[in-house]
Amino acid sequence: MRNLDVLAAILLVVGGLNWGLVGLIDFNLVDYLFSSMPSVEKLVYSLVGLSAVYQIVGLKGIQTRWNVK
């Protein structure tokens, strides 16, 4: 489960950096990397969104698994 926690956190960082680049310099890194593969681009966006939902729903469980008080 901790691996899933880490993967979700990494995807959220990637998503956050992408949105930061879009906001600051109008550069979409995901689109740049995967524009020739729209299905992969859509998958990346979907995984980032699912990671956010996972983090929101499972926040208490994550704190318990990581022994955070």
* pLDDT tens digits, one per residue of 27-68: 999 999 998 999 999 999 999 999 999 988 887 777 777 776
Q: What's the domain range around 53? A: 2-63
Which pLDDT value is given to residue 69?
64
Give the pTM: 0.77
Q: How far apart are CA 25 and CA 5, in angstroms?
A: 30
Q: Give residue 5's pLDDT.
A: 84
**DSSP classification of residue 53:** H
pLDDT at 46: 96
Residue 45 lies in a domain: yes
Flag whether pLDDT at 23 surpasses 80.
yes
pLDDT at 49: 95
Residue at 56 is within a domain: yes
What is the count of structural domains for the chain? 1
